[in-house]
Structure 1
Amino acid sequence: MAGSIVEVNDTTFEQTILKADKPAVVDFWATWCGPCKMIAPHVEAVAAELAGQVIVAKVDVDSARGVASRYGIQSIPTLLFFKGGQVVDRMIGGQHRKDDIKKKLLALI
């Protein structure tokens, strides 16, 4: 996983994402999920390009069931975009590319 991506779980989610002073995108994924592996390089590229401007995080739905349930994650990958501790947008599925993700984040900066 790229160094600019933060792994969050049920314990660290609130402090890392909800109380953040920057916009964030959270990638809900699982190790066994094929589409998650397809979108991962795009998420990593966005993390590298926007390092310092936004938070890019990953939540493994198998180990952080509380967070996944709280946000109604029913299919993965799901990307949730946060600003000021609130979900402001989402993308579902592995078909999204770097530019799609980056555009949504830039709109939140």
Structure 2
Amino acid sequence: MASFKEIISTDTPVLIDFFATWCGPCQTMMPVLEKLKDDLGDEVRILKIDVDKNKALATQMNVRGVPAFMIYKKGKLIWKGSGVQPLHVLKDEIAKA
């Protein structure tokens, strides 16, 4: 299994979704992320991270609330957002990457 650092260091943009199973807005984002993956296919990699199961990583990444999103490309943080995000915002930020 690839390490987190290896995953975010690829040429393909990686959208990280920090979520929690108990989080209502996180559930709201699930169909948005599925549509994003359907629309963009291999142009983006979506990585879902449960903050309750990955507390150390969430703390390291400065996640203060969920849902929280980050886009990485070649190991660099390109964009960061929190709360429910519209599909077009995520698409625009991935396109910029």
**TM-score using structure 1 length:** 0.81
Please tell me the root mean square deviation across aligned C-alpha atoms, in Å.
1.6
Gaps of 5+ in 2: none
Do residues 102 (structure 1) and 86 (structure 2) align? no
Do residues 14 (structure 1) and 5 (structure 2) align? yes
Matching residue of 1:29: 19
Which one has a larger percent helix, Structure 1 or Structure 2? 2
Do residues 87 (structure 1) and 77 (structure 2) align? yes
Quick one: distance in 1 between partners of 2:11 and 2:74? 7
Quick one: distance in 2 between partners of 1:38 and 1:91? 15
1:14-93 map, 5 Å: 14-17=5-8, 19-93=9-83
Alignment coverage as a number of residue pairs:
97
**Amino acid paired to 2:24:** G
Gaps of 5+ in 1: 1-7
**TM-score using structure 2 length:** 0.90
Aligned partner of residue 21 in structure 2, secondary structure: coil
Quick one: distance in 1 between partners of 2:30 and 2:47? 11
Question: Following TM superposition, where does structure 1 have runs of at least 4 consecutive aligned residues deviating by more than 3 angstroms?
Answer: none
Q: 1:12: how far off?
A: 3.5
Q: 1:14: how far off?
A: 2.1
Quick one: distance in 2 between partners of 1:106 and 1:99? 10
Q: 1:60: how far off?
A: 0.4
Q: 1:41: how far off?
A: 1.1
Q: 1:13: how far off?
A: 1.8
Aligned partner of residue 52 in structure 1, secondary structure: helix
